[in-house]
Structure 1
Amino acid sequence: MTFSTAMSGLNGAQTELATMANNIANVGTNGFKRSRVAFGDIIAASPSQNPSRTIGSGTYVKAVAQQFQQGAIETSDSALDLAISGQGFFTVRAGEGDGETSFTRNGAFGVDADRYVVDASGRRLQLFPTTTDGSVLTTDLGSTIPARLPLTSGDPRPTGLIKLAVNLPASATIIPDLPAYSAGNPYAFDRNDPATFNNSTSTTIFDPLGNPVPANVYYIKTAAPSPGQPDHEWTARVFVGPTELQVAGVSGINMRFDANGALVAPAAPVTFDPFGLPGAGMTTGLTLDHGVATTQLTGGFSRISVEQDGYAAGQLESILVDGSGTLSASFNNGEIHTIGKVAIANFASPQGLKPLGDARYVATPDSGNPITGEAGRNGLGSVRSGSLERSNVDLTAELVGLIAAQRNFQANAKAMETDSALLQTIINLRQ
């Protein structure tokens, strides 16, 4: 009897030693939760036995329970390193569709070759689907979607309108009157010859395929006020890439300024004839609006403002996960898209979860079904981006406990040794 009692103590001490050794081994594992062994004593008694003389029959391991206290949260340099501050687990799934769903506190996520957000084992982080403004459509676990980062955003938009405001110098020389362009050598505009225009400016627009194309405007002063014509006259020549734009088949836009330097004509935006762009594979139209801010005043040439309404398809520039778990992607065209909201799950009894390794767990009847919801609501913790939850193992406490478990093991071994010696003595007496 004593032998079996001590043996149960040895087995229990060995289980506790193995559990503490596992805790110590995983002190550096992100999201790891330490385990604690719970023991129960064994009582074997008959109904007629005197309760005051009942002797225990040893011990047994009731459970090796995970302790889900929060581990320390440390900052990192990756926006996809996530930590839950409070209760809950990240939801990850292996592959598409019916892949195994598991739960983890280890938020060290990265991006695979297919741009899915995955853990170190390739399991995909799950999101609740949302509207474009970030409102969650459903928190049902079966409706979650894998987190995937897009490379581009939307379709390109060709430039249809350029808003340009400049100041043209009132003292500019009239180009046709330059000596180099006398009656024997008539004026001929050449955008590569600065002597054939007074000033120029440029901007970048986008063709129908989203390719950037330079747009250049050359200003030529053609006439000063005269008794019959009180306005200053200019011509604007517009080029997109190598192509000069025309209005009704005529190159150049006639511009007139009154004596106060205000733009008189054109009084409305000018729309050019459709034109083709090399490599774009199609034609497009373009409107130029000099607006009321364009002037002819004293001083030098200056560009006051320029705007255009085209853009290329946006390229992924950065990602952000806020405290509510909303995953957003920013693109270099200024667009911001909400991809989804990180799915957080909790359990009525987390100690009932079955560990799978890699700080992952699956639900069991003891844990109950997962209770899913948005981060920061209904008792669930908030999500911290650029952070990782460390193991909750207290190394000092584990080493002290390891010594105590070792002493326990030695004491039970000594009890077995003593019981063996007593049995040997009894055997010898019978001889």
Structure 2
Amino acid sequence: MSFYTSLSGLKGAQTDLSVISNNLANVGSTGFKKSRAQFGDLFASAPTQTTKMISGQGTRLNAVVQQFTQGTLEASDKTLDLAIAGEGFFVSRGDPPRAAVTYTRNGAFQVNANRQVVDTIGSTLQLLPVDAAGNVTSTALSSAFDFVLPANAPGNPTVALVNVSVGIDGLVTATYADGSDEVLGKVAMASFTAQEGLRPVGDSHWQSTGDSGPPAIDAATNGPLGTIRSGALERANVDVTEELVALISAQRNFQANAKAIETASNMTQAIVTIR
């Protein structure tokens, strides 16, 4: 039995090493959130057995849990580089026919050939409708629309767009060559009751699940969503020193379990060779 107990320890240490390695590999990934492997012990006994005479049977992986702590904000020189200081997520929608909705902390947005503001996977950032005073008129996800930069002032194709700004509350304002302004909407943001239940899909994007609960959609500065910082990006929340210490610990665990298997093998060999 000690072989299988130590084998489960080897597999656990290997999983721990994989999770830590993934964290370290993504130190430079914008909006990345580190993960932690959580383990539990295995124990089983029959009703007629006393638990005081039974040892455990090893370990198993309970979950790889994401840690949604705030990453450091790093300044950039692009208006459409957006960072969140808070617990919110940007909402982006993919191309039809799937039009898959994903949530991201990676605010490295850019403009494509159709003048849509898209994220790193090509999904379009969503805006919420606002009135003339800049107040959100609907927080339903179905009412959110694609962020598209206008080429010219409304009603006057000879006046070009010269600037776009994003406020800390997510209000997007377009400025034209004649000095006029136009409010385009507010950046749609989402929060979740259980962030750890989100399903990662890569590139610092997540999808909602039954474990995370449905998204609560609103604009920045409301509830736990936080504020939006234009001209900044959120770095990965990975502490390299902490991960290296955890890496050493996982390596020691692996070596200890390997040594236990070797010891059990030597004991078995000694018993077999008794004459």
Question: What is the TM-score normalised by the length of structure 1?
Answer: 0.62
The aligned residue for residue 159 of structure 2 is 314
Matches within 5 A, 1:48-197: 48-96=48-96, 98-156=98-156
State the match for 1:261 in structure 2: none
For residue 29 of structure 1, what is the aligned residue in structure 2?
Answer: 29
1:175-209 deviation digits (Å, cap 9, x = unpaired): xxxxxxxxxxxxxxxxxxxxxxxxxxxxxxxxxxx
State the shift of 1:365 in Å.
0.9
Stretches of structure 1 that go unaligned for 5 or more consecutive residues are 157-311
**Aligned residue identity for 2:92:** V
For the Cα contact (< 8 Å) 1:109–1:119, is it kept in 2?
Answer: yes
4+ long deviations beyond 3 Å: none
8 A Cα contact 1:132 1:337, kept in partner: no
Residues 79-129 of structure 1, C-alpha deviation per residue, up to 9 Å, x if partnerless? 100011011100111114641111011101010010000012211101111
For 2:33, what is the secondary structure of its paired residue?
Answer: coil
SS at match of 1:341: strand
1:375 aligns with: 220
Q: Aligned to 1:329, which of 168, 174, 187?
A: 174
Structure-2 residue corresponding to 1:422: 267
Corresponding residue of 1:46: 46
Q: Deviations over 1:249-278 (max 9, x none)?
A: xxxxxxxxxxxxxxxxxxxxxxxxxxxxxx
How far residue 151 of structure 1 moved from its aligned partner, in angstroms, is 0.6
SS of the residue corresponding to residue 58 of structure 2 reads: strand
Question: If you compute each CA radius of gyration, which structure gives the higher value, 1 or 2?
Answer: 1
CA distance in 1, matches of 2:265, 2:165: 67
Aligned equivalents of 2:141, 2:97: Cα separation in 1: 12
Could you tell me whether the CA contact under 8 Å between 1:127 and 1:146 is conserved in 2?
yes
| Structure 1 CA distance for aligned equivalents of residues 212 and 247 of structure 2 | 29
| Contact map agreement 1:154 1:313 (CA 8 A) in 2 | no
Tell me how far apart the structure 1 counterparts of residues 8 and 150 of structure 2 sit (CA, whole Å).
Answer: 58
Identify the match of residue 202 of structure 2 among 357, 366, 375: 357
Which structure carries more helix by proportion?
2
The two structures, once aligned, show a CA RMSD in angstroms of 1.3
Pairs aligned (count)? 275
Inter-partner Cα distance in structure 1 for 2:114 and 2:205: 23
Gaps (5+ residues) in structure 2?
A: none
Amino acid at match of 1:363: S
User: Given the superposition, is the C-alpha separation of residues 96 and 326 from structure 1 closer, same or farther in structure 2, using an over 3 Å criterion?
Assistant: farther
The whole-number CA distance in structure 2 between the counterparts of 1:96 and 1:127 is 17
SS in 1 for 2:65: strand
Superposition TM-score, scaled by structure 2 size: 0.97
CA distance in 2 between counterparts of 1:154 and 1:18 reads 53
Task: Give per-residue Cα distances to partners, 1:36-95, cap 9 Å, x unaligned.
Answer: 010100001122222322311000110000000000001110010001101110011111
Percentage of pairs with the same residue: 47
CA, structure 1 residues 144+357, in 2 after alignment: closer, same or farther (shift >3 Å)? Answer: same
CA contact (8 A) 1:72 1:390 kept: yes
Deviation for aligned residue 1:35: 0.4
Instruction: Return the structure number with greater strand share.
Output: 1
Partners of 1:144 and 1:411 in 2: CA distance: 54
Matched residue, 2:238: 393
Pairs within 5 Å for 1:333-344: 333-344=178-189
Structure-2 separation of matches of 1:146 and 1:126: 5
